[in-house]
């Protein structure tokens, strides 16, 4: 990801995934999340035809972008999270399995800079907070935070701060609370 630092008046480049030694780094001249034909159209004024992996394999790369619901609000995925939060007894795997699968899809396409990647990391944090799983919530919060820093700069938060964010999360141990409230209201024997 690139980010213009107004203080240093310089362009900062940060990795959102691991980089192999000697691997060539690229930057984008257009929105990498739109379809190949639209990207090529945007690149016309620059006078070159992009030959990156995504542009070379449009049938595959466009399909990934469709699967990622590009340019469509992710209502279905939000709904999944809400259903999980509001349904006692529904395990976190209802959210976790789907989000992990989406993350993998995005990683395979090399689109870790995507808004959807951040969103699924946040869903994982929400789901693990809801069941009070500190360790897992921290793992995904750290990744979400690192991605945020890559996009917009800023300082790395301490482990203590991240821990506080988890424990003070509005979803913290939410499932136990729902379960308790339902039991109290006589929904469960």
- Write out the two tokens for 63: 């399909």
Q: How far apart are CA 124 and CA 95, in angstroms?
A: 7
Minimum distance of Zn ion from residue 12's CB (angstroms): 22
Q: How far is CA 18 from the centre of its chain?
A: 16
CA atoms within 13 A on the CB side of 9: 0
144 in Cβ contact with 122 (< 8 Å):
yes
Minimum distance of Zn ion from residue 61's CB (angstroms): 8
- Beta carbon nearer to Zn ion, 54 or 99: 54
Q: How far apart are CA 82 and CA 80, in angstroms?
A: 6
Residue 165 touching Zn ion (CB under 5 A)? no
- Beta carbon nearer to Zn ion, 21 or 27: 27
Minimum distance of Zn ion from residue 32's CB (angstroms): 8
Minimum distance of Zn ion from residue 52's CB (angstroms): 3
Specify the length of the chain in residues.
189
Size of the site for Zn ion (CB under 5 A): 3
- Beta carbon nearer to Zn ion, 8 or 51: 51
- Beta carbon nearer to Zn ion, 35 or 122: 35
Backbone angles phi, psi at 22, to 5 degrees: 80, 0
Q: Which of residues 31-70 bind Zn ion (CB under 5 A)?
A: 50, 52, 55
- Binding residues (CB under 5 A) for Zn ion: these are 50, 52, 55
């Amino acid at each position: 990801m690139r980010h213009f630092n107004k203080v240093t008046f310089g362009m900062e480049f940060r990795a959102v995934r691991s980089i192999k030694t000697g691997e060539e780094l690229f930057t984008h001249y257009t929105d990498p999340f739109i379809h190949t034909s639209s990207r090529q159209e945007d690149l016309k004024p620059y006078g070159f035809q992009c030959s990156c992996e995504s542009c070379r394999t449009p049938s595959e790369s466009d399909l990934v972008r469709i699967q990622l619901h590009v340019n469509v609000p992710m209502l279905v995925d939000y709904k999944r999270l809400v259903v999980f939060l509001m349904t006692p007894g529904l395990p976190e795997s209802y959210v976790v399995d789907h989000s992990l699968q989406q993350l993998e899809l995005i990683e395979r396409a090399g689109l870790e800079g995507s808004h959807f990647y951040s969103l699924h990391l946040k869903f994982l944090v929400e789901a693990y907070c809801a069941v009070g799983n500190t360790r897992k919530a921290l793992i995904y919060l750290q990744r979400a935070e690192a991605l945020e820093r890559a996009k917009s700069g800023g300082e790395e938060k301490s482990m203590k701060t991240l821990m506080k964010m988890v424990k003070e999360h509005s979803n913290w141990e939410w499932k136990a609370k729902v379960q308790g409230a339902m039991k109290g209201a006589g929904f469960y024997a």
